[in-house]
Amino acid sequence: MLRRFLPAWLVGMLATMILLANTLLWGVVVFALGLVKCILPLRGVSELLHWAYKGWCRGNRLALWLGCAEISLDLPEQMSEQAWYMLVANHISWLDIVVLSALERLPAPKFFLKDELKYVPLIGTGAWALGMPFMKRASKAKIAKNPKLKGMDVERTRHSCRHFRQHPTTVINFVEGTRFTAQKHQRQGGEFQYLLKPKAGGVAFALEVLAQQLDGMLDATVIYQSPDQHICRSFMCGKLQRIDVRIRLLSMDTVPLGNYQTDKQYRVAFQGYLNQLWLDKDAQLAAYWEQQHATDTLCVDEVKQA
């Protein structure tokens, strides 16, 4: 690898330049094709859009291969590129999107994005062109003032997901709703050691729309080993040591389904299901970091003895 011959900062700079150039190139192509699709909604244009999106994913893979010292993937053998999945993942950094999009065996990853991101050049416009769902949740206070807003979340999700049936797709939701930081974790309390509390609404709405189409649910855990808590900065400086991605495939038979908006009993059941999923993930992360700490301690002892 280049990092054997070049200083870390230069490796990080090259990887970052590849990532930015890749996003600029394919972002412009996807946006242009999106405009064409608005005028000529032909299947051929849709195929070109997905071809361009795969080009972006391949470019991300190259940037990660260059910019990270080691990448470890633990993916289920049954996972198929010709299937449809719902994927839930923890959220640590903006780099999470790049990492998950770069997984070769994952069918076309489509992300649930905050509504504000649609106005971000290239990122938002590209996501719009590809028909990714933008979540704009109405608060309880707004619903109380205007009852017509109730149920709009489901309708927006259904409208955004309508094209997913045309191509094998992985709908990705960062269910914590925001990136993990020590400050956010402290404000939420101590239920989880390495995670923020999961928010069930977005996943439940997507499941309500897509459940019959899905072949399974993927539970993904992304882990970074870095000397800097700011993962993107660590990547840009060439200091990112390792990325681990671990995915479990869950049968749809084990996932509670129902009407999250109107069925209170189902809402409680699904929140409990997702919370248990996060408790299991938190235990997995605790075991991972405990093992890493033991390995680091052993290496230090061996150096001292030498």
Residue 205: band (very low, low, confident or very high) from pLDDT cuts 50, 70, 90: confident
Rounded Cα distance, 102 and 84, in Å: 17
- Please determine, for residue 2, whether its predicted confidence score (pLDDT) is greater than 60: yes
Residue 293 has pLDDT above 90, yes or no: no
Contact 193, 285 (CB under 8 A): yes
Residue 306 has pLDDT above 60, yes or no: no
Q: What is the mean pLDDT of residues 19-33?
A: 92
166 has a pLDDT exceeding 60: yes
DSSP 68: -
**What pLDDT shows up at residue 142?**
65
How much is the average pLDDT of 156-173? 76
Highest mean pLDDT among 70-84, 132-146, 204-218: 70-84
The CATH classification of domain 72-305, taken from the options 1.10.3430, 3.90.550, 3.40.1130, 3.30.200: 3.40.1130
* Per-residue pLDDT tens over the stretch 102-133: 998 899 898 877 777 777 777 787 888 887 87
By mean pLDDT, which of 77-86, 131-140, 235-244 is the weakest?
Answer: 131-140
- Note the pLDDT of residue 16: 95
| Greater model confidence, 81 or 166 | 81
- Please give the pLDDT value at position 301: 47
Strands 70-74 and 216-225, bridge-based pairing: unpaired
Lowest mean pLDDT among 28-42, 118-132, 205-219, 237-251: 118-132
Residue 294's Cβ-count burial label (10 Å; 0-12, 13-18, 19+) is exposed
Q: Please name the residue ranges forming H helices in the chain.
A: 8-39, 43-67, 95-101, 123-129, 140-145, 152-160, 182-188, 201-210, 231-236, 264-305
Whether the predicted pLDDT of 237 surpasses 80: yes
Higher pLDDT, 103 or 146: 103
- Higher model confidence: residue 166 or residue 53? 53
* Comparison of pLDDT for 298 and 186, the residue scoring more: 186
Q: Which helix (H) or strand (E) holds 134?
A: strand 134-135
How does DSSP classify residue 48? H
Q: Please, which contacts does 124-129 make with residues 24 or more away whose CB atoms are closer than 8 Å?
A: 125/27, 125/30, 125/31, 125/34, 126/26, 126/27, 126/30, 126/31, 126/34, 126/56, 128/34, 129/30, 129/31, 129/33, 129/34, 129/35, 129/37, 129/49
Residue 299 has pLDDT above 80, yes or no: no
Mean pLDDT taken over the chain = 85
- Please state the domain extents for the chain: 72-305
3-state secondary structure of 212: coil
Q: What's the pLDDT score for residue 153?
A: 60
Does the pLDDT value for residue 155 go beyond 60?
yes
Mean pLDDT of 241-263: 92
The reported pLDDT for the residue numbered 50 is 87
What pLDDT is stored for residue 189 in this prediction? 80
Average pLDDT over residues 231-260: 94
Lowest mean pLDDT among 110-114, 197-201, 284-288: 110-114
